[in-house]
Structure 1
Amino acid sequence: MIVRIGMAPTASPLGPQTPAALALGLEREGFDSLWVSERVTGPALDPVVTLAYAAALTSRIKIGTAVLTLPGRSPAVLAGQLASLDVLCGGRLLPAFGLGQRHAGEQQAFGVRREERAAIFEEALPLLRRFWAGEEVTHDGPRFRYEGLRVLPQPAARGFDVWMGGTSEAELRRTGRLADGWLASFITPAEGERGRAAVQEAAAGAGREIEEEHFGAVVPYRRGPLSAQARDRFDRVRRRVSGPAPLNDVAPDLDGLEAHLKRLVEAGLSKFVLMPLSPPGDWDAELGDVRDAALHLQARR
């Protein structure tokens, strides 16, 4: 199993210096990838714009969305947008999709009611794959209608390995039926093991197979005691995932990060997106410390 380690910025207001310092530092230190999240009504920068900026500064690291909201977007327009970014960055884009935040403001922004999201997602994702394959798409569905529509450009590899997030039973089953990989967030090793097994079971039931190295997690970490703001954010995210859990089982201190990642590897996960719970004052120093703490795990096991 090959372990890959990337990083994501803390969910806080970002100026242009943060994605620049993070992207250049990840490339310099030998990390695998840069990932950004989406929150239209929050402090995060637009993920596609941010990744385009980061791609222009780098030549090696992969760039990914963790995760991009699909319901509320036109599959045809999104297919062309992501393919364009992939062509410009030389095939380094890793798209991961989700239903969107469970937040009334986010659902208003995307024009999608909460109860509609899953059905829209299941109609849209196969359409994206068809557009990326270069098909002339004819489709008459409940939400989208196309007649002989072809979208250009195509991605560098004429398609993507599409990853999905989520930890509910429905989300895990959907991942197994539709996705090429699973990227969970803020999970314990035990939850990672159960989720991986559920995704594999759903994939087998659909006559599909997901590669064993296509299971990963967004892993928060901390440096000493959390601020009240960081602890509140951690608690809110955990409530959305599956409920309370010991802090060390989800967000280890930097000194415990290596041992935590090893537990996740034992649970069958191998792709990791590390995220500091509190925004670093100096990204160059932060990346050097994380490199020393965990990057030696990024090798064939």
Structure 2
Amino acid sequence: MAIRVGIGLGATSFEDPRAFFRLAERCETGGVDSLWQSDRLVGEAPSLEPMACMATLAGCTQRIKFGMNAVVVSLRNPLVLAKQCATIDHLSGGRLLPVFGVGVAGAQEWQAMGRDPAGRGRRANEALAIMSRLWSGESVDFEGEFYRYRQARIAPLPRQQPLPLWIGGGSKAAIQRTARLGTGWLGGLMGFEAVGPVVQAIRSESRAAGRSIPEDHYGATLPFRLGNAEHPAVQRFMKLPRSLVGVPDPSSALAVGDVPAVIERIASYVAAGVSKFVCLPLAEGESDISDQIERLVAEVLPVVEAPAFEAGIEVEGRPAG
């Protein structure tokens, strides 16, 4: 399975808009696989809207892929979201990597939009089924608990057929959702020791549903810093609530230290069955973010994306050799 590394820019405000384009250009020329934007509609922390970012990246890049990590499908109209994804994929020549989640129950968005988070999983299941049908070119008639459509059809269709439909989350419901509807899985802030059981559970549930997800369609979100663990950005991450990180020890969900330490942490995730990474630079300001990306591109990517790297790791659930 080919290891590929993307960069997440979701926690960056880009007060100077030119910085966004400079980083996108550097990632593209440096061989970064993909760029990612998180989805927060409300809140005090600055966060760019992901679908607008995807459209912007489609217009200012030529090669690099881009995706949402992860768009909260339960908060959006599935017909509009399907149309947006299809348009961006069409105009970019097939470079969109959409990832969908149900969101956190305690997030501010539910109250702001007047929606009950208790039904977010069922709402997401309906939305994902509707979008898959729309992307295939089908005229959709749908009568569900949350959505009702009559003769809904979109054009143009996505360039990618089928359009990737990756799903995020590590709960039992997310595992079942991925197994039934997804073409891939991207973990959130999960320690490497928590990722392996989820990957194995998705594989098992997929087989039970008569489906299979390709071996190299499993990913992880990995905050990183090449440098000292005492950096303020690292310390802020360490203080995140356990509900956001998913493990008792947040340090197991990030890669911090010198180059060998970061490479070793990536290897731990690969051994758990992950081959796609969204690396989030733990940094402050454009210069620091740029420096972290430069070092990742120059010192880490050539090692971890080389075929010999994955070949030397015994991957959980796969026979050695």
Coarse TM-score class (shorter-chain normalised) = over 0.9
Counterpart position of 1:274: 279
Q: Do the aligned partners of 1:182 and 1:214 also contact (CA within 8 Å) in 2?
A: yes
**Are the counterparts in 2 of residues 73 and 110 from structure 1 also a CA contact under 8 Å?**
no
Deviation at 1:10, TM superposition (A): 5.3
Preserved contact between residue 10 and residue 278 of structure 1 (Cα < 8 Å): no
- The corresponding residue for 1:156 is 159
Other-structure match for 1:59: 62
Counterpart of 1:261 in structure 2 is: 266
Tell me the TM-score normalized by structure 2: 0.87
Corresponding residue number in structure 2 for 1:45 = 48
Alignment pair present for 1:100 and 2:103: yes
Q: 1:10 to 1:72 in 2, by over 3 A?
A: closer
Identity, % of aligned pairs? Answer: 34
Does the C-alpha gap of structure 1 residues 193 and 229 become closer, same or farther in structure 2, counting only changes over 3 Å?
Answer: same
Whether 2:210 is the aligned partner of 1:203: answer no
Q: Which residue of 2 aligns with 1:69?
A: 72
Q: Which amino acid aligns with 1:292?
A: A
- The answer to whether the Cα contact below 8 Å between 1:20 and 1:57 also exists between their aligned partners in 2 is yes
Contact 1:4 1:299 in 2 (8 A): no
Paired position in structure 2 for 1:293: 299
What's the TM-score, normalizing by structure 1?
0.93
Compared CA separation, residues 228 and 286, structure 1 to 2 (3 A): closer
In the other structure, the counterpart of 1:245 is 249
The answer for the alignment partner of 2:2 in structure 1 is 2
Q: Classify 1:212/1:5 alpha carbon distance in 2 versus 1 (closer, same or farther; 3 Å).
A: same
Unmatched runs of 5 consecutive residues or more in structure 2: 311-321
- Counterpart AA for 2:167: M
Give the Cα–Cα distance (whole angstroms) in 2 for the partners of residues 167 and 275 of structure 1.
19
Distance (Å, rounded) in 2 between the aligned partners of 1:38 and 1:77: 16
Query: Higher mean Cα deviation, 217-226 or 92-101?
Result: 217-226
Corresponding residue of 1:138:
141
8 Å CA contact retained: 2:7, 2:36: yes
Deviation at 1:280, TM superposition (A): 4.6
How far off its partner does 1:228 sit?
5.3
- Label 1:246 to 1:234 Cα distance change in 2 as closer, same or farther (>3 A): closer
Q: Secondary structure at the match of 1:71?
A: helix
For the residues of structure 2 that align with 1:237 and 1:185, how far apart are their CA atoms? Answer: 14
For 1:70, the aligned partner's letter is: V
Give the CA deviation at 1:22: 2.0
Q: Does 1:115 align with 2:121?
A: no
Alignment: residue pair count: 300
Structure with the bigger RCO (C-alpha within 8 Å, sep 6+) is 1
Aligned equivalents of 1:128 and 1:168: distance in 2? 22
Alpha-carbon shift at residue 14 of structure 1 (Å): 2.8
Name 1:34's counterpart in structure 2.
35
Q: Which residue of 1 aligns with 2:24?
A: 23
The answer on whether the counterparts of 1:137 and 1:146 sit within 8 Å (CA) in structure 2 is yes
Residue 71 of structure 1, CA deviation: 0.7
CA distance in structure 2 between the partners assigned to 1:89 and 1:231 by the alignment: 38
Q: Does the CA-based 8 Å contact 1:254-1:293 persist in structure 2?
A: no
**What SS does the corresponding residue of 1:50 show, helix, strand or coil?**
helix
Match in the other structure for 1:180: 183
How far did 1:110 drift? 4.1
Equivalent-residue separation in structure 2 for 1:100 and 1:181 (angstroms): 18
Q: CA RMSD in A?
A: 1.9
1:224 aligns with 2:231: no
